[in-house]
Amino acid sequence: MKKFLLSLVSLLIIFQSQVNADEGMWIPLLIEKYNIQDMQAKGFKLDAEDIYSINQACIKDAIVIFGRGCTGELVSDQGLLLTNHHCGFGAIQKHSSVEHDYLKDGFWAMNKDQELPNPDLTVRFLNSIEDVTDAVLNGVTKDISEQERESIIKLNIEKIKTESVKDTTLIASIKPFYYGNQYFLFVYQEYKDVRLVGAPPSSIGKFGGDTDNWMWPRHTGDFSIFRIYADKNNNPAEYSPENVPYKPKKFLPISIKGINEGDFTWVIGYPGGTTQYITSDAIRLIKDVRNPNQIKLRDKRLEIMNRYMENNDTIRIKYASKNAGISNSWKRWKGEIIGLNRLDVINKKIELGNKFNTWANQNNRTEYIGVLDELSEIYSSIEEYAIAYDYWRESVLGIEIIDFVSDFDKIVKLAKSDVNSDELIEERDDLIKSSEKFFKDYVKSIDKETFEALIPLYYEDVNGKYHPNIENLDLNKSLNDYTDNLYEITIFTKKDKLIQLLSEGSKEEIAQLASDPVYGFYKEFSNIYNNLVYPVYDSLQTKSEKLYRSYMRGLQEMNPDKVYYPDANFTMRVSYGNVEGFTPRDAVEYNYYTTLDGVIEKDNPEIYDYDVPDQLKKVYNEKNFGRYAVNGTVPVCFIATNHTTGGNSGSPVLDAEGNLIGLNFDRAWDGIMSDMMFDPERSRNVTIDIRYLLFIVDKFAGARNLINEMTIIE
């Protein structure tokens, strides 16, 4: 009996060491194997098949990749979809003008005829996941080169993808896990008719702006509403007035029962990328070099943009989406530095590395001996190339006109070649469309100032061997004169002239774009990047991937009782935890929720991001909260210990029964370094409470038509 009890205790200890409810982004296919017992022990009321199944409708069938970098979820049998306001921001902005400022005033379709199409917006449903490691690595042996390995894997992947979706409209994707030690096949169905249904004004959907971004407490109603349309057979179709609302296999019921501290919660969605297993040298490069450089460059861009946007509504609308995109990573990088320092991550990684080396040496595991030393050498070599790489992306391509011109490389080459006219015509048409989009949201004066701010920083901070010799560019003289001349002469600031050339110009005339001064400026820098920077940077990255593959395999062998969750790579994952506040520093304690009272307290009409709409203040003063009221106010946001990252924006936050209780939209600043090291004491995902979302739709917007579509549990 004692022996039995001892064995049972040992098993429990092993299992507990395998899984931490707070940390991890788990593959739905493997929930039954690794997580379901722990989830259920912590309060989960469903089974693994309720999350992921290919035999029955399940929760994964209600979840979509929204656009190219967010998550969304279905909440009605008529294809109604929720995601974040910042995920729908681009679509909202494209429909906005000074006359119809949906960013400022919001948008609500009171019937389906008023819903707005978005030609470039798609959603993808996950059909299935399959472990295809053996098939992908077929023919790979230890004695082949990394280049041969990549070539074999590439051919295998294309073959598997082709066969898996043959004679269907499905889309296949194969992603590496654990640095290429394992591979999974993901099969999707894509829908292309996605229409805007509702969005609160930015004063709700983006309340607090960049000041509150990544912070807690939070009072942001970060949501937008779309609808998926299909053909009459419920199949994907391009936009058509004849399309009908999509009928999903599964949609999420909504619970307004409320939440309490300690409640089990979980998130299912598409986290974009994490690097949990990188070494101390990698952390140092990020924390001390790359993040500070990128922050400095974006400081300049944001200062210029913000100055123009503050005093001009037209510019504010044009640059709203760009500004949000630039500032999001800018603030995250700042938080990462603080968090990595606070957790002393470098020394913790060094300690782990020492343990790994000791284990490898003591056990004579020759395949792992020296791996970390080689990685350290690579990071020492890669630094100067990483700096040049980041400055190319953040300073040179951070200038809008240069980034725009980079799209013209292909047509210039085609115009100079003997290529057939069909390919040239196709490229013309694509560039005409992209040019229309570019000029719609382009302000030359902002771009000129940005050019004058960023180019000198490139020459100051990047090794001289990567400095192109630009004709007439003398940073010791008047850069302003050079920039004025450049922007005046180039065709790439003249919309009508450029589009006329693309539409009507001969091959010879299009080929003359190569002599344009802005195109020439871009080519001088791109030649440096393509010939001197990227090949070495990429080669070192490839070498590090091979070493990390070995290091990851070694870690798993060193700790065979520990389950290492794979880094995020924009594939469907499940994370789970509990509703919980936290203490960020001495004598400061954060509650787990915020309320509408806090929104009103922050009201400041003098500051755009804190200017509460009059209608919301009216509803608040009348206490017209309906069934969404709790203790005389309305819950707005809450936090929990679920492990999330970029891409999880818009992900459903669910209760133990699988009911929707909120939309994930952010992480708390104090735990923002969780992409590299999770801190259970401070890492928190930030969620808009579903009750606030419904309150805004119902009592603020009066869109009862949308409320009536949803299944709401009281």
Domain-embedded: residue 8:
no
307 phi, psi to nearest 5 deg: -65, -40
What's the pLDDT at 478?
80
The model carries a pTM of: 0.90
Is 222 marked active-site? yes
Single-letter amino acid, residue 141: T
Single-letter amino acid, residue 658: G
Q: Which of 98-102, 422-426, 582-586, 675-679 has the lowest mean pLDDT?
A: 422-426
Distances (CA, A) of 266 to 333, 667, 677: 26, 15, 20
In the structure, how many helices (H) and strands (E) does the chain have?
A: 28, 22
A 10 A CB-CB count for 708 gives: 10
> Is the pLDDT confidence value at 585 over 90?
no
d(CA 696, CA 649): 19
Domain-embedded: residue 16:
no
Q: Could you tell me the pLDDT band of residue 112, with boundaries at 50, 70 and 90?
A: very high
The one catalytic residue in 86, 96, 447, 567 is 86
For residue range 171-200, list pLDDT tens digits in order: 999 999 999 999 999 999 999 999 999 999
> Is the pLDDT confidence value at 598 over 50?
yes
- Nearest-10 crossing angle of helices 421-440, 409-416: 150
d(CA 417, CA 508): 10
- The backbone region for 214, taken as left when phi is positive above 0, alpha when psi lies in -120 to 50, beta otherwise, is left
What's the pLDDT at 418?
78
Domain closes at, from 558, 592, 617: 558
Q: Based on the domain organization, do 523 and 647 belong to the same domain?
A: no
What's the pLDDT at 595?
98
The angle formed by the CA atoms of residues 285, 175 and 665, to the nearest 5 degrees, is 65
Q: Based on the domain organization, do 263 and 248 belong to the same domain?
A: no
Q: Based on the domain organization, do 248 and 318 belong to the same domain?
A: no
What's the pLDDT at 688?
98
Q: With contact defined as beta carbons under 8 Å apart, do 394 and 294 qualify?
A: yes
Q: With contact defined as beta carbons under 8 Å apart, do 444 and 487 qualify?
A: yes
The one catalytic residue in 222, 666, 670, 689 is 222
Is 496 marked active-site? no
Q: Based on the domain organization, do 60 and 205 belong to the same domain?
A: yes
A 10 A CB-CB count for 46 gives: 17
> Is the pLDDT confidence value at 9 over 60?
no
What's the pLDDT at 236?
98
Domain closes at, from 220, 254, 288: 254
**Structural domain tally of the chain?**
3
What's the pLDDT at 609?
85
Question: Using the 8-state DSSP alphabet, how is residue 466 labeled?
Answer: G
Beta bridge pairs of residue 663 = 652, 688
> Is the pLDDT confidence value at 607 over 50?
yes
Q: Based on the domain organization, do 547 and 414 belong to the same domain?
A: yes
Q: Based on the domain organization, do 264 and 371 belong to the same domain?
A: no
Single-letter amino acid, residue 223: F
In angstroms, how far is the first alpha carbon of the chain from the final one? 48
Q: Domain of 693: which CATH number?
A: 2.40.10.10
Q: What residue has token string 């022990």?
A: 41
For residue range 297-328, list pLDDT tens digits in order: 999 999 999 999 988 989 998 998 899 889 98
For residue range 521-574, list pLDDT tens digits in order: 999 999 999 999 999 999 999 999 999 999 999 999 999 999 999 999 999 999
> Is the pLDDT confidence value at 706 over 90?
yes
The stretch 665-676 carries a mean pLDDT of 95
Q: Based on the domain organization, do 227 and 308 belong to the same domain?
A: no
Domain-embedded: residue 3:
no
> Is the pLDDT confidence value at 476 over 50?
yes
Q: Which residue has the higher pLDDT, 52 or 328?
A: 52
Domain-embedded: residue 14:
no
Q: Tell me the two tokens of residue 448.
A: 């000129």
Q: With contact defined as beta carbons under 8 Å apart, do 136 and 156 qualify?
A: yes
Q: Could you tell me the pLDDT band of residue 98, with boundaries at 50, 70 and 90?
A: confident
Q: Tell me the two tokens of residue 143.
A: 């004695």
As a whole-number percent, the residues of the chain with pLDDT over 90 amount to: 89
Q: With contact defined as beta carbons under 8 Å apart, do 674 and 683 qualify?
A: yes
**10 contacts: CB under 8 Å, gap ≥ 6:** none
Q: Based on the domain organization, do 346 and 396 belong to the same domain?
A: yes
As a whole-number percent, the residues of the chain with pLDDT over 70 amount to: 97
Beta bridge pairs of residue 227 = 80, 195
What's the pLDDT at 334?
95
Q: Based on the domain organization, do 248 and 292 belong to the same domain?
A: no
Is 478 marked active-site? no
> Is the pLDDT confidence value at 6 over 90?
no
d(CA 161, CA 249): 24
H-helix or E-strand spanning residue 529: none
What's the pLDDT at 475?
77
What's the pLDDT at 472?
78
For residue range 207-244, list pLDDT tens digits in order: 999 889 999 999 999 999 999 999 999 999 999 999 99
Nearest to 250 by CA among 50, 46, 478, 116: 50
Domain-embedded: residue 455:
yes
For residue range 63-75, list pLDDT tens digits in order: 999 999 999 999 9
Q: Is the dihedral of CA 606, 609, 615, 616 positive or negative?
A: negative
Domain-embedded: residue 564:
no
3-state secondary structure of 303: helix
> Is the pLDDT confidence value at 659 over 90?
yes
Domain-embedded: residue 33:
no
The one catalytic residue in 321, 395, 550, 649 is 649
**358 contacts: CB under 8 Å, gap ≥ 6:** none
Q: Based on the domain organization, do 326 and 345 belong to the same domain?
A: yes
- Domain span at residue 690 reads 258-273+572-667+686-713
Q: Tell me the two tokens of residue 276.
A: 């949990």
Q: With contact defined as beta carbons under 8 Å apart, do 672 and 214 qualify?
A: yes
Q: Based on the domain organization, do 204 and 343 belong to the same domain?
A: no
Domain-embedded: residue 233:
yes
Q: Based on the domain organization, do 120 and 134 belong to the same domain?
A: yes
**223 contacts: CB under 8 Å, gap ≥ 6:** 82, 83, 84, 85, 200, 205, 663, 665, 688, 693, 696
**496 contacts: CB under 8 Å, gap ≥ 6:** none
